[in-house]
Amino acid sequence: MKALALLFVFVPLAAIAHFFHWNPGLIFLFSLLGIIPLAQVMGKSTEEIAIRAGAGIGGLLNATFGNATELIIAFFALKAGLFKVVQASITGSIIGNILFVLGLSILLGGIKHPHLRFNRTVAGLNTSLLVLAVLSLLVPAGLAATSPRPIDGIMPAFSVLVAVLLILVYAASLLFSFKTHSHLYVGEVLPEEKPTMGLPVTLGLLFGSTLLVAVMSELLVGSIEHVIQTFGLSEMFIGVVLVPIVGNAAEHLTSVTVALKNKMDLSLGIALGSATQIALFVAPVLVLAGACMGRPLTLHFDHFEVLAVMAAVLIANFITLDGESNWLEGLLLVVTYFILAVAFFFHP
């Protein structure tokens, strides 16, 4: 935590670099590093609100504000017309949460606690929803690959239709979780915690950090093209690996911290819940936002991106099937993530 606090220096440095027209590579680096502690403040503020609101709503808030960073970065990338970066950031957020965040949590939690157990019902619902997300990416890719004529003209309208349906399914999943079948979500009894900050201070930190993340995101996106040209990094690698690692910083810390305390229901809820929200809410919102902005974003993703998401969902489904896990399964998830990350680095 103290190491992350040191990164706050990069927030003003990024602004100074922008106003004095320093090298865009430095702006990219400073804004990238500056987002990390801001995401941590957002995560801490959300936890404070969660203590007051209860576990269910708290978990939803954790996922929502945990994904706010990625949504803000993706929005500015969409506004700049960097569609590949937006699509790659969606892919990276899904596989990052499933493979890296969840894998690291299980690995470190399993080293400390030999037996990790969690609610199979909740994990099963999340992986089932993620299968729907995979289908929403497979169908456009399949249409494009098998159609005898180009379908680029209908893809934006098709994507908007699918986006609306995915949002409706996500809303239905919330109704299922919090209303009609809330009894299925009674997990481990956690020790009662008390807020450490007053509500006005918490809200001020939350909205202030969100605003600064928006500023850093705009600076970050504005320097991406220079980084691509100068360092030879692809839009896909930046979107799949760099942006999600920064955007998920708060979730990394929270998920691993609670896993070390053997609170695996909460840890899986953060990791898988965040991936589900990205797939069924954030991605569709970006599609709808693009349509409103005249920047049509489609769900026709690169075939390798679809394959990566399929692999992540498949392995997560197998690992969560029995309701328990161990450090070796966590290691498998992390290694799978790094294999895919290296592949995306070399992907043209």
Q: Provide the residue ranges of all domains of the chain, joining segments of one domain with +.
A: 2-346
Q: For the domain 2-346, what is the CATH code?
A: 1.20.1420.30
The answer on pLDDT for 297 being more than 60 is yes
CB 235 within 8 A of CB 224: yes
Query: 219-239, pLDDT tens digit by residue?
Result: 888 888 888 888 878 888 888
What per-residue confidence (pLDDT) applies to 187? Answer: 52
More confident residue, 252 or 75: 75
| Prediction pTM value | 0.84
pLDDT at site 94: 92
| CA count, 13 A, side-chain hemisphere, 278 | 33
Helix 264-277 with 83-95: angle, nearest 10 deg: 160
Out of 85-99, 141-155, 317-331, which region has the weakest mean confidence (pLDDT)?
141-155
pLDDT > 80? residue 63: no
pLDDT above 80 (res 16) = yes
Mean pLDDT of the chain: 84
Task: Name beta bridge partners: 116.
Answer: 325
67-115 tens-digit pLDDT: 777 788 888 889 888 888 899 989 998 999 999 999 999 999 999 988 8
What is the structure's pLDDT at 215? 87
Q: Which residue has the higher pLDDT, 149 or 127?
A: 127
